[in-house]
Structure 1
């Protein structure tokens, strides 16, 4: 999730209020169609048309581009990286953060592919090269997109374990989707700084300010200029993001409202209990506060099939995989993908899935009925 977007919640006191009054803005009803979901091949982008933030690599990895057609006819652009000198051992479906797009994985994707994973990173509805970029697609539609894409990838790679990798807002989509009555057909989940700053953890003035803006000027756009908060310590990477034309720079209030609705749903859903999961968070995260994350983790796991594993990185910021400390985090991800029971190489794992230094003594909060 990009700092200049989510930090609008700090800048204007915008944060929260009850969902339901502002409609999600996606495809106009007159343009809605019924279509058969499919993975479509696209020609390779012409030289100079990609907005790649990573330098060219010489890894034994193939890169292809396509579009995932959803049941309503929308086609979500995606990029796939796959190993060329070894068999595919697993599949990673990668979801970017707020105001970002699939290029969030331009460095991580090839490295994961070189380790044996086939990585599919797609532009979520309302972002990147999608129609109506900058408009919010809706929680139900975004989680349905994830389920449909997971089904398509599963059909293309039968028998291979599927991992959902969500960054910030992408993590919130994963949490919400896995809590749905019919969750995505995934085997594992990795949540990197998941966006769970829901209404239950915000003060009244923030809820009131967002409600007022969303109900009076939902079309108004805001920026995070002048804020003294940072998403990462990798300043050169942040500058390149600022120059990337596909990264949303001015955020509509209705999109912030939609994001908070999503974070509400993710916080209420809680960590995945039916599939193994890994949750990663940076000690210096200035975008998603610690309190919501601690509330997310503080559940009764006595009856759950799986308790999430959690790592806290003392040198980590919000954009953990793109921070200067990113290679350390990526090694942990790769180790967990290879063997989810192995100790993380960084030694940053919180015993029992609870970071005492961040959250204090554990206080069990039962999930909402």
Structure 2
């Protein structure tokens, strides 16, 4: 049984915190924030690599104001969840966690429209999950999808990632360039100082799994049929915008939109254009359930 803590916040919403049983004790830290009035829908929000769910409080606040319940969790090896930082045996473990969490959220809000919103690593997991043909999802919103992660990486380095993954899977091999997250220096400074953000080197196994799963998803884009809202920063140097374009072009979804935000870096929810981005998300969701 998950441990729960319910907190009243300004009499406007309630927050539920606990441990989500993903099959790996003690479980993953999660939180749900609920509007005071009955929600019009529910959103599962997935954070990116090396960060944590708490960095999306401003996004959650916007969605709450639109009448949605928002559920999120710190992924294994991230934030307040256990595990070696940013390490995963298989990307399938991450997508499996998402599928279990979606089932938990659906059980808590039966009959409500259900949306998935993910950034970067979270977007990649949602794309992988969407390609499996899940039922009962009203739509997905993907931000900064790193589908073309191999762009700009030498073929030799990709091969070496596979070798290191087998020989020394937990060895840190590459740091994320924090200065390319946002044009807002305050965002970058807060990211670096945040004790729940991992700023060390990403383990070899995670890198190899990212290369593997992006190739897998590309081979299954035609299996994605859910309504799609795809968002990307024009000047994203961490995840090439061409990956979002590829998804938009090849997904079988008949209901899909692509928005490339001029001048924006990787974290479009933390860019100067954040209000515009959130407005696009809110309007799209309102039209889908």
TM-score by length of 2: 0.88
Q: How far apart are residue 202 of structure 1 and its match?
A: 5.2
**1:68 maps to 2:20:** yes
Deviations, residues 123-143 of structure 1 (Å, cap 9, x unaligned) = 112212222131215222211
Measured after TM superposition, the shift of residue 174 of structure 1 is 0.3
Whole-angstrom distance in 1 between the partners of 2:12 and 2:62: 9
Task: Summarize the Cα distance change of 1:217–1:133 in structure 2 as closer, same or farther, 3 Å threshold.
Answer: closer
- The corresponding residue for 1:280 is 231
- Larger strand share, 1 or 2: 2
| Residue 69 of structure 2 corresponds to residue 118 of structure 1 | yes
- State yes or no: 1:296 paired with 2:247: yes
Contact 1:76 1:125 survives alignment (8 Å) = yes
Q: Does 1:256 align with 2:218?
A: no
Q: Which residue of 2 aligns with 1:20?
A: none
Aligned-residue offset at 1:43: 3.3
Q: Look up the match of 1:197.
A: 148
Tell me how large the CA RMSD over aligned residues is: 2.7
1:175 aligns with 2:127: yes
Residue number in structure 1 paired with 2:161: 210
d(CA) in 2 for partners of 1:271, 1:123: 30
SS at match of 1:106: helix
Contact between 1:83 and 1:117, CA under 8 Å: does it hold in 2? yes
**Unpaired stretches in structure 1, ≥5 consecutive residues:** 1-37, 46-56, 342-369
Aligned residues: 286
User: Deviation of residue 82 (structure 1)?
Assistant: 1.5
Q: Structure 2 stretches of 5 or more lacking a match?
A: none
Match of 2:17, SS state, is strand
Encode CA deviations 1:333-363: one digit per residue, 9 max, x unaligned.
Answer: 011111149xxxxxxxxxxxxxxxxxxxxxx
Residue number among 253, 260, 264 corresponding to 1:316 in the alignment? 264
The Cα offsets for residues 27-52 of structure 1, whole Å up to 9 and x where unpaired, read as xxxxxxxxxxx7x343369xxxxxxx
Residue in structure 1 matched with residue 78 of structure 2 by the alignment: 127
Match of 1:151 in 2: 103
Give the C-alpha shift of residue 205 in structure 1.
Answer: 2.8
Q: Name which one, 1 or 2, has greater alpha-carbon Rg.
A: 1
- What is the rounded CA distance, in whole Å, between the counterparts of 1:106 and 1:137 in structure 2? 29
Query: Whose helix fraction is larger, Structure 1's or Structure 2's?
Result: 2
Q: How far, CA to CA, are the matches of 1:64 and 1:91 in structure 2?
A: 14
- Partner Cα distance (2:119, 2:172) in 1: 23
1:186 to 117, 123, 137: 137
- Alignment partners' CA distance in 2, 1:322 and 1:200: 24
